[in-house]
Structure 1
């Protein structure tokens, strides 16, 4: 299938109204190429798994891109987009250069072109995440390589909540531990725990797609003898005991099973929680204390919080 890429050179002020115009014209999403992104400071430890190409960005203003299928209605749709964007000046919106260009993209090329921007990234002292198609040689013998396909539905593994979780697993997982991963998504935390020496990891998720994604990534990393992916709602009906429970999901969901997590942990076991937006930190922290946990650490990366709690000996 062929797609038409519409690229509009405009201003930051016009991003939202132009995005709305493109959505209303049938684009399922837009791409914003803002040169300010080239100069944003990144946290050195985890950085970003992709590299931005300055040649793809304007020297001033922004590019807004959208994709529409090439069909008999394309010309009419493009004319309507041009008219609607030009009409924004009547609302005192600065549309800048308003240069609009159209180009054709093959679906097959579009599906794979983004891969060239994704590179290996070190996200903790030991763990480096690499996209599956990249050749990578470990820098030292202690480095643990975790392979992911960012084309899957659960991202690249470099979101702050995932990074915080992996860093905590690296600190609190001992060789021979039993680990439960609640809300496994792509399985990145389960795989991380296995690479760190856990003898058994069970990855639970309510989403069947997540269970399949975890299974694929587990095999990709050759830890299928350690990690088992299961369809399950949180820790409901789970009877096994664990040394570590990790959960990178929303704060509102974490507080729904802190009592069960306390019961399923061995004495002295650790409960690693992440996916907590800054404003929900106290909600989770106080609930953990209420259940009997000791709070060991509260860590933050950008606007996200991770809490490491311990079940008393």
Structure 2
């Protein structure tokens, strides 16, 4: 089978929404080529071994690449992707150059292309994320390993927004907590919560493919008995009370359900939000404060922000 590589030259701000668009239109995964990765030194990362070629990276912005099967619908699919990306401007998302290019790639090249981007990465004190094909042995007795297949959804969970979320979960989760994951994507936050001691996790996503990916990844990591995965729009019609709510999505989406999160949290419950760019940080802080949340932490990595708040009464 032949595949077409679609490459979007855009901004860090647009990574999450464009990745979601590509996923919804049939891509089996995305590759992010960010020049910051060439020089980044992250305090809590080790065991990260990438063979990166500087010539493959843009001088500014990022490349988002995905692979689509070459068939009679390819033209329609590409037009649909272009339109959906342009619609992001309605949400004041900076698309940068917003240049889209297509190139043909054979299946054998496509299969091997993934693997050079993904190696075991320790992203917090306890958690290491590994791709399914890597042989890896824990280096300490308390190390928690999450296995992910980047072909399922949204990469391997090493984007700064995911790292900040998991680090927050690790610091605040208590044994036997009930957790809600809003916009679960590949399910990596739900899996982390389950492996770190949650009693039950409810994982919600509007995207049916993300729901399937979460179920597959949960089973792969042997926490499928703990994780209830459902297709749902944010917290609409969710009545349960949780000890912790986590959400790694756009700031504009987070502010829409802050009130619902308040009602779905127990007293002293923790709300972990991520996927927030610097320019939108104050908007989320103001909304949380307005609702009555107490801000516990604001953490930053590269251009991304995570806010951890508590429901006090």
Q: TM-score, normalised by structure 1?
A: 0.72
For the pair 1:191 / 2:191, whether they are aligned, the reply is yes
Q: 1:309 to 1:291 in 2, by over 3 A?
A: same
Give the match for residue 209 of structure 1. 209
- Superposed, which structure 2 residues align to 1:86-105 within 5 Å? none
Please state how far the C-alpha of 1:43 moved relative to its aligned partner: 1.4
Report the Cα distance in structure 2 between the residues aligned to 1:167 and 1:205, rounded to whole angstroms. 21
For the pair 1:261 / 2:268, whether they are aligned, the reply is no
For the pair 1:179 / 2:182, whether they are aligned, the reply is no
Number of positions where the alignment pairs a residue of Structure 1 with one of Structure 2: 251
Residues 1-42 of structure 1: per-residue CA shift (max 9 Å, x gap): 46799xxxxxxxxxxxxxxxxxxxxxx9xx9999x7785133
Give the match for residue 272 of structure 1. 272
Report the Cα distance in structure 1 between the residues aligned to 2:3 and 2:217, rounded to whole angstroms. 31
Report the Cα distance in structure 2 between the residues aligned to 1:44 and 1:256, rounded to whole angstroms. 33
Residues 71-108 of structure 1: per-residue CA shift (max 9 Å, x gap): xxxxxxxxxxxxxxxxxxxxxxxxxxxxxxxxx96423
Report the Cα distance in structure 1 between the residues aligned to 2:224 and 2:4, rounded to whole angstroms. 42
- Is the Cα–Cα contact under 8 Å of residues 49 and 121 in structure 1 kept in the other structure? yes
Please state how far the C-alpha of 1:117 moved relative to its aligned partner: 4.3
Please state how far the C-alpha of 1:269 moved relative to its aligned partner: 0.5
- Superposed, which structure 2 residues align to 1:231-242 within 5 Å? 231-242=231-242
Which protein is bigger by CA-based radius of gyration?
1
Superposition misfits of 4+ residues, deviation over 4 angstroms: 2-5, 31-34, 36-39, 47-50
Please state how far the C-alpha of 1:277 moved relative to its aligned partner: 0.5
Report the Cα distance in structure 1 between the residues aligned to 2:32 and 2:245, rounded to whole angstroms. 38
SS of 2:110's equivalent in the other structure is helix
- Is the Cα–Cα contact under 8 Å of residues 245 and 265 in structure 1 kept in the other structure? yes
Uncovered stretches (5+) of structure 1, i.e. residues with no partner: 6-27, 71-103
- Is the Cα–Cα contact under 8 Å of residues 298 and 308 in structure 1 kept in the other structure? yes
Please state how far the C-alpha of 1:111 moved relative to its aligned partner: 2.0
- Is the Cα–Cα contact under 8 Å of residues 185 and 214 in structure 1 kept in the other structure? yes
Q: TM-score, normalised by structure 2?
A: 0.72
Give the match for residue 107 of structure 2. 107
Uncovered stretches (5+) of structure 2, i.e. residues with no partner: 6-26, 71-103
Give the match for residue 11 of structure 1. none
Please state how far the C-alpha of 1:182 moved relative to its aligned partner: 0.2
Please state how far the C-alpha of 1:156 moved relative to its aligned partner: 1.5
Q: 1:53 to 1:234 in 2, by over 3 A?
A: closer
Higher RCO, Cα 8 Å, sep 6+:
2
Residues 250-306 of structure 1: per-residue CA shift (max 9 Å, x gap): 011101010010011000100001111101011000100111111111111111111
Q: 1:105 to 1:241 in 2, by over 3 A?
A: closer
- Superposed, which structure 2 residues align to 1:41-52 within 5 Å? 41-46=40-45, 51-52=50-51
- Is the Cα–Cα contact under 8 Å of residues 204 and 234 in structure 2 kept in the other structure? yes
